């Protein structure tokens, strides 16, 4: 790490601690003795999502979380649990170093998670995700759960 003051290449870490999703490091230059702070972040590959209309867009955690929260509206599930589910889905792709996926693959992962978490939310999400148009669609998915 180069010193921002004298551009010397050798610095030592004085203190290191976690800060949000970053690691904060306090450093000291071995040449000029000045101190400065750096932040270390894990770089995740950009995940692109292939949509049903044929377009691509970057994966949006907030958009996914909002969709899950809509299905869980007035259900006894914490916001932390929703955030954890979204993180797990995102980390699945990051750990596999996968840079592309489809909306249907993400939707299937959400459905699996909701099936374990809350069956009412599962049916709500499935009705939008699978585009239910009639009562028979609802009845068939409820029979699947029984």
DSSP character string of 37-106 = EEEEEPPPPPPEEE-TTS-EEE--HHHHHHHHHHHTTTSS--HHHHHHHHHHHHHHHHHTT--EEEHHHH
pLDDT for res 81 = 94
CB 99 within 8 Å of CB 116: no
pLDDT for res 139 = 83
How many CB atoms are closer than 10 A to CB 83?
A: 14
Rounded Cα distance, 99 and 56, in Å: 11
CB 28 within 8 Å of CB 5: no
Strand (E) or helix (H) holding 17:
strand 11-19
Q: Say if residue 44's pLDDT is above 80.
A: no
- Tokens standing for 132? 């239910």
Rounded Cα distance, 105 and 103, in Å: 5
pTM of the model: 0.68
Burial of 80 (0-12, 13-18, 19+ CB in 10 A): exposed
pLDDT for res 55 = 94
Domain boundaries defined on the chain: 11-41, 48-145
pLDDT digits (tens, 9 = 90+) for 106-142: 999 999 999 999 999 998 998 888 878 888 888 888 8
CB 85 within 8 Å of CB 109: no
pLDDT over 70, % of the chain: 100
| Cα angle, residue 68 at apex, residues 75 and 55 outer, rounded to 5° | 165
């Amino acid at each position: 790490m180069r010193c921002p003051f004298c551009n010397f290449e050798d610095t030592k870490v004085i203190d290191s601690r976690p800060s949000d999703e970053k690691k904060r490091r306090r450093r000291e230059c071995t040449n000029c003795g000045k101190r400065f702070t750096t932040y270390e972040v894990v770089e995740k590959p950009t995940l692109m999502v292939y949509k049903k209309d044929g377009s691509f867009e970057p994966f949006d955690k907030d958009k996914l979380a909002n969709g899950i929260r809509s299905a869980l509206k007035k259900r006894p599930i914490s916001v932390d649990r929703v955030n954890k589910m979204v993180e797990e889905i995102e980390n699945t792709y990051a750990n596999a170093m996968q840079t592309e996926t489809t909306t249907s693959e993400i939707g299937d992962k959400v459905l699996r998670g909701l099936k374990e978490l809350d069956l009412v939310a599962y049916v709500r999400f499935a009705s939008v995700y699978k585009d239910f148009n009639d009562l028979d669609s609802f009845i068939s998915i409820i029979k699947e759960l029984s």
